[in-house]
Structure 1
Amino acid sequence: MRTTSRIFWILALFFLAAAVVYGLMTGYAAPMGIETVGFPALLMATGLAALIALTTQITAKKFPNQPEEDEVAPVSAQAGVQGSFAPYSWWPLWAAIGCAMAFLGVAVGWWLLGLGMIPVIVGVCGWVMEFSRNEHAH
C-alpha cells in the first residue's frame, strides 16, 4: 500500500504540473470558448489521483505489515478469501442490459436512456440485496 500511495502522489503532482502548464499555455480558457474542458479535467485528474493516494496511505497506516510490502514474502502470504460472489446470479445480466441500453440511449435518443435506467436500478438493487434474505433480511 505504501508503494501504491507513493505512485499516486507522484501522479497527482504530475497532473497538477500538467494542469498549470496547460493553463498557462491556453490562458486558463480557450479563445472563443471552443475547448474549455482541458484545464478542469486535469484538475479533476489531480484530485482523483490525490484521493486514491490518500486512501491507500490511510489504509497502509491501519494495516502496516501487509505481504505486498515484503519483498521476500511468498505469493501464498496473500492467499485467502478475497470476496463473496454469487456463482449463479442473474442480477449482473440485468444491470448490464440496462447499462447497454442507457449508453445506447446517449447516441440514439434520450428516451432510451430513461428506459434503460429501469433495468439498471432493478439489477443493481437485486444484486446488492441478493443475500439479504431469511434471517439476514432487514
Structure 2
Amino acid sequence: MKANVKLYWILTAFFMVLAGLYTVWSLLDQAHQRVEWVGTITLLLSGILWALIAFYLGKVHDAQGGELAEDRLDANIEDGDAEQGHFSPWSWWPIVLAAAVSLVFLGVAAGAWIAFIGGGILVVSLVGWTYEYYRGYFAR
C-alpha cells in the first residue's frame, strides 16, 4: 500500500504541474490570450482527486499498523487469513435493495411514477437491512 500512496502523490504533483503548464500555454496562445478555464479546472480537480486518494490511503496504512500480509513479498498464504468482516448469508435484504434500486433506475428511464415506488421500497429495504440484527430471531 505504501507504493500506491507514493504513486498517487506523484500523480498529484504531475496533474498540478500540468494544470500550471496548461494555464500558461493558454495565456501564451496568440489567438485568444486568456485562460481556458475548462481544461485548467479539470486538471486542478484531477490533482485534488489524486491527493485525496493518496491522503486517505496514507491514513489507512498508518492506522493498520504497517504493511499487510498481501503487501509483503516474503508472506505466506496463511498470513493473510484473518477475519475480513461480518456477513449475513441468510439475509434477503440485499436482494430487496437491488430490486428497489432497479425500480428507481427503471423509473428514471421509463416513468417517474415507477421511481417513487422504487424509492419507497428502497427506504424500507435500507432500514430493514440496517436493523436486521436488532429484532426477531437475531435480536441482541
- Alignment TM-score, normalising by the size of structure 2: 0.70
SS at match of 1:113: helix
More RCO (CA 8 Å, sep 6+): 1
Cα distance, 1:54 vs. partner?
1.0
Aligned residues between the structures: 127
Q: Paired residue for 2:111, among 109, 112, 119?
A: 109
Percent sequence identity over aligned pairs: 31
2: CA distance between counterparts of 1:115 and 1:43?
40
* Higher Rg: 2
Cα distance, 1:95 vs. partner?
0.7
Cα distance, 1:82 vs. partner?
0.5
Render the CA deviation track for 1:3-62: whole Å, top value 9, x for unaligned: 232233344445556666777668114xxxxxxxx7656555443432222111012122
2: CA distance between counterparts of 1:18 and 1:127?
45
2: CA distance between counterparts of 1:8 and 1:103?
34
In structure 2, the gaps of 5 or more residues are 27-34
2: CA distance between counterparts of 1:39 and 1:73?
44
What is the identity, as a one-letter code, of the residue corresponding to 1:27? Answer: E
* Counterpart in the other structure of 1:91: 93
2: CA distance between counterparts of 1:7 and 1:109?
45
